[in-house]
Each structure stands twice: as structure tokens, then as C-alpha cells.
């Protein structure tokens, strides 16, 4: 094998590797959402987040508009503090937007749904969404049903 041919083939090899990395970074995983310069962040406090995880979807009317970047427990208010990052294309959510934790399907993963309110002003970077609705925890729900049944009878 003369050295020119092998150099060309090694070049091709490198190119294929870059292509593979591109696929892995852009299509398979979520490197796209890593660059924090794009978009803006909001926070929301929930009483209970259920099984919500970092990198969960944030959607409005079922359309993906951003993702959960951080979840911490706020020991002062005994609440979970969730940081969301939204794409900068969706920068017009009214101040009284509600953030709720939903489950996709019966057993699917949990995500945050945004339901826009009616205010004239929009949420800005680092604002807090004050209206939140916690996750529905199945055990608690069953417990409530049982309780109300026994209480009602």
C-alpha cells in the first residue's frame, strides 16, 4: 500500500468518525441543548415533582419548547426548585403562565407543560413561574380516593 493511498483512506476514516460523532451528538443525544447562550431560564417551585428528571421535556400545547436543566430541593420552603430553559424562539409566555407536571401515557416519563395565562407582560430571563401544579402521585391519588370513599359513606 503506498503511503498516499493510506493517507487518503485514513482521512476518510477520520471523516467517517466525525460523521458518527455528529450523529451521536445531534440525533442520538442532546448536545444541541447544551449551549446555554441560546434561550433563557425560568424557575418554578413545586410541592412535589414526582418522577421528573433533569433534561425532561418542557412543552406548551404538546410542542417541545425547552427542557429541565436543574432540580434542587429548597430547604427553606420545603419545596422542589426546578430550573427550566426555554428556546429563545418562545420568549412570549405571559407572567401568569402555569407550569404543571404531566405524565406522558400511563407509565411514560414526566414532563412539564406550560399553560399560558392572560397577562400583558411576558416572563423574562431568571423569572419565577409562580403558578405551579405538582405531579400527580399515583399512590397519593389512590389514597385520596379510598379516603373520600370511606369518609363519604
Partner 1 sequence: MSNFLQKFGAYWLGKLERLGRATLFLFHLVAALASLVKRPSLLVKQLHASGVMTLSIVLVSGLFVGMVLSLQFYNTLIDFGQEERVGTLVALTLVRELGPVVTGLLFAGRAGSAMTAEIGLMKATEQLSGLEMMAVDPFKRVFAPRFLAGFIALPMLAAMFSAVGVMGGHLVGVEVLGVDANAYWSQMHSSVSFTHDVCNGLVKGLVFGFVVSWISIFEGADCIPTSEGVSSATTRTVVYSSLAILGLDFLLTAVMF
Q: Which is nearer to partner 1, 60 or 127 (CB)?
A: 60
Nearest-approach distance from CB 34 to partner 1, in angstroms: 7
Stretch near partner 1 under the rule CB under 8 A, chosen from 17-25, 75-83, 129-137, 138-146? 17-25
Q: Does residue 7 interact with partner 1 by CB under 8 A?
A: yes
C-alpha torsion 48→53→58→61, nearest 10: -60
100 vs 132: CA distance, rounded Å:
6
In the shown chain, the binding pattern of residues 59 to 98 toward partner 1, with x for contact by CB under 8 A and - for none, equals -----x--x-------------------------------
Select 56 or 95, whichever has its Cβ closest to partner 1.
56
Three cell numbers written together for 145: 380516593
HSE value, Cβ hemisphere, 13 Å, CA-based, for 146:
6
SS3 109: coil
Amino acid at each position: 500500500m503506498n503511503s498516499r493511498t493510506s493517507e487518503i483512506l485514513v482521512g476518510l476514516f477520520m471523516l467517517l468518525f466525525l460523521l458518527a460523532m455528529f450523529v451521536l451528538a445531534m440525533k442520538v443525544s442532546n448536545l444541541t441543548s447544551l449551549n446555554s447562550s441560546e434561550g433563557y431560564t425560568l424557575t418554578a417551585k413545586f410541592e412535589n415533582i414526582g418522577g421528573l428528571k433533569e433534561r425532561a421535556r418542557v412543552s406548551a400545547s404538546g410542542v417541545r419548547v425547552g427542557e429541565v436543566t436543574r432540580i434542587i430541593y429548597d430547604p427553606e420552603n420545603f419545596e422542589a426548585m426546578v430550573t427550566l430553559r426555554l428556546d429563545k424562539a418562545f420568549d412570549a409566555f405571559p407572567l401568569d403562565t402555569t407550569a404543571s407536571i404531566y405524565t406522558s401515557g400511563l407509565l411514560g416519563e414526566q414532563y412539564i407543560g406550560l399553560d399560558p395565562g392572560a397577562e400583558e407582560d411576558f416572563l423574562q430571563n431568571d423569572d419565577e413561574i409562580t403558578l405551579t401544579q405538582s405531579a400527580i402521585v399515583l399512590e397519593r391519588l389512590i389514597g385520596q380516593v379510598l379516603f373520600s370513599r370511606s369518609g363519604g359513606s
